[in-house]
């Protein structure tokens, strides 16, 4: 079974600085997706960034980028130029790359609560 | 376009009572999921509907939990009777089209359940 581990329950960053959130996972599959979701207080959980395991290039979305190390099974999220609106709970998630049939549900880590200091 | 909506946002009930959570997915989304996060732990999958059919209910903790999706639109998750360990945040999510690894899953804000 696949597992996702986020070892940082809480992180803090100064506004305009850069922060990296850690995520490791365990799987025997070769094809899969990895995601970072963000949930601001009392708001919907939204997708921040996704990475296909077969792609060597790290995904980027504006100020958000990942460092995907497939061999090490590591998938960290870097937030550059942090803004107050980045304060949220961040969840790392794994999803199998299935070709139909059974549910390819998301498997989540425990989350990292990010605080942004003005 | 409206997102995934959940009701109630917060609920406090006594042990032994019944609670029903409702989820309205994004219009046109055939796939509907329920997840749960117990405080301090990871978000765990409960079940998956494709239209009105249960595709996968392997995550349902026990028979006190009953999920329905009549007509393939909104879904309800009933907990009866509620126990203390049922406290947590219940997330609903939906995605469109034929089940595919690549489809983005959209989440609601969650329903916070406290059993006292």
pLDDT digits (tens, 9 = 90+) for A40-89: 987 889 999 999 998 989 999 999 999 999 999 999 999 999 999 999 99
The pLDDT of B18-29, averaged and rounded, is 95
Burial zone of B45 (CB within 10 Å; 0-12 exposed, 13-18 middle, 19+ buried): buried
The pLDDT of B28-43, averaged and rounded, is 91
Q: What's the mean per-residue pLDDT of chain A?
A: 92
| Chain B environment of A43 (Cβ under 8 Å) | 109
pLDDT score at B99: 55
Alpha-carbon gap, residue A116 to A40, rounded angstroms: 12
8 Å CB contact of A103 and B4: no
B56-113 confidence digits (pLDDT tens): 899 999 999 999 998 889 999 999 999 999 999 999 999 886 655 567 889 999 999 9
> Longest Cα pair distance anywhere in chain B, in angstroms?
41
CA angle B11, B108, A81 (to 5 degrees): 115
User: Percentage of chain A surpassing pLDDT 70?
Assistant: 94
Alpha-carbon gap, residue A14 to B108, rounded angstroms: 29
What is the band of B2 on the pLDDT scale with cuts at 50, 70, 90? confident
Contact assessment for residue A101 and residue A49, using Cβ atoms and an 8 Å cutoff: no
pLDDT score at B96: 84
pLDDT score at A111: 95
Establish, for the pair of chains A and B, how many residue pairs have beta carbons separated by less than 8 Å.
Answer: 59
What is the band of A102 on the pLDDT scale with cuts at 50, 70, 90? low
pLDDT score at B100: 57
CA distance B32 to chain A (A): 11
Tokens of A114: 């990010």
| Chain A environment of B41 (Cβ under 8 Å) | 110
Question: Is the pLDDT confidence value at A99 over 80?
Answer: no
Which of A86, A89, A98 minimizes the C-alpha distance to A61?
A: A86
Is the bond preceding residue A48 a cis peptide, omega within 30 degrees?
Answer: no
Alpha-carbon gap, residue B91 to B45, rounded angstroms: 9
What is the band of A103 on the pLDDT scale with cuts at 50, 70, 90? low
A22 membership: H or E segment, kind and range: none
Of B4, B43, B105, the CB nearest to A91: B43
């Amino acid at each position: 079974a696949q597992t996702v581990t986020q070892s940082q329950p809480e992180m803090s960053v100064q506004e305009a600085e850069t922060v990296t959130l850690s995520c490791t996972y365990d799987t025997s599959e070769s094809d899969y997706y990895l995601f970072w979701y963000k949930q601001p207080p009392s708001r919907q959980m939204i997708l921040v960034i996704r990475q296909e395991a077969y792609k060597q290039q790290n995904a980027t979305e504006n100020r958000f980028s990942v460092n995907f190390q497939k061999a090490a099974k590591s998938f960290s999220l870097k937030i550059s130029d942090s803004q107050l609106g980045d304060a949220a709970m961040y969840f790392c998630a794994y999803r199998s790359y299935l070709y139909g049939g059974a549910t390819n549900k998301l498997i989540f880590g425990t989350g990292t609560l990010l605080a942004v200091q003005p | 376009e409206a997102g995934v909506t959940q009701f109630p946002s917060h609920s406090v009930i006594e042990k032994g009572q019944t609670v029903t959570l409702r989820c309205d997915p994004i219009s046109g989304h055939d796939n509907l999921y329920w997840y749960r996060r117990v405080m301090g732990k990871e978000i765990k999958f409960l079940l998956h509907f494709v239209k009105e059919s249960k595709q996968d209910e392997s995550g349902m903790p026990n028979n006190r939990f009953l999920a329905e999706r009549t007509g393939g639109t909104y879904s309800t998750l009933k907990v009866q009777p509620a126990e203390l360990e049922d406290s947590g945040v219940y997330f609903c999510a939906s995605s469109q089209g034929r089940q595919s690894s690549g489809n983005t899953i959209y989440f609601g804000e969650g329903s916070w359940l406290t059993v006292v």
